[in-house]
Amino acid sequence: MTRRMAIAVLSLAGAFLAIYLTLYKLGYLQTLACGTGSCEVVQASRWSKLFGLPVAMWGVGFYLAMFVLAAAGSFGRLADSPALARALAALSGFGVAFSGWLTYIEVARLHAICRYCVTSAGIVLVLFILSALDARGHASEPE
């Protein structure tokens, strides 16, 4: 399995996690299955929304974009595309910065940690590492 395939698989897993958190935020789930941590504190905070939409919903969009790019870049003509590799690296780099900021809010402002959010931040970090390696691999090849 190539790095891009791994990115696609991981992005799909992240999308389901973000969908779960979005369903909670939209009120379709009464409680988060959260044995430890303070998911409800985090999900009820004012930082759980961005531009009127739940942050988790933006997360769904992010993961689906990563999935589509990585899956499309796993086969055919796009498999050799350095531009696509750079796009994946840039998108996941933005994801790392954003989830880093959210983790800072959890620790420094809310003093509450949501394990789903931490898991998502971990997935984003791995996606960035894989994307950066993929971009580096394609940078050394002639276009």
Partner 1 sequence: MAKSKAGKKQSGKNAVRGTPNRQFVAAIVVVALLGVGGLGYALSHRGPSVIVVDPNIPAGAPQGHLMGKADAPVQVIEFGDFECPACGNFATITEPDVRTRLINTGIVAFHYYDFPLSQHRNSFTAHLAAACAADQGKFWEMHDRLYAGQDEWSDLIDPGMTDPMSVFRRYAKELGLDVKTWENCVTSQKYTAQIKGNQAEGMRRNVQQTPTIIIGDQQVNGVSYDQFKQLVDEALAKSGKAKADSGRKSAGGKKGAAQ
| Site residues for partner 1 per CB under 8 A | 1-2, 5, 8-9, 12-13, 15-16, 19-20, 23, 25-33, 40-41, 43-44, 46, 54, 71, 74-77, 79-80
- Is the CB of 35 or the CB of 76 nearer to partner 1? 76
Which residues, at least 6 apart from 67, have a Cβ–Cβ distance to it below 8 Å?
8, 11, 12, 15
CB of 98 to partner 1, least distance (A): 21
- Is the CB of 94 or the CB of 119 nearer to partner 1? 119
- Is the CB of 25 or the CB of 102 nearer to partner 1? 25
- CA distances from residue 116 to 14, 43, 71, 80 in whole angstroms, order as listed: 10, 10, 24, 34
- Is the CB of 49 or the CB of 93 nearer to partner 1? 49
CB of 138 to partner 1, least distance (A): 12
CB of 120 to partner 1, least distance (A): 14
CB of 77 to partner 1, least distance (A): 8
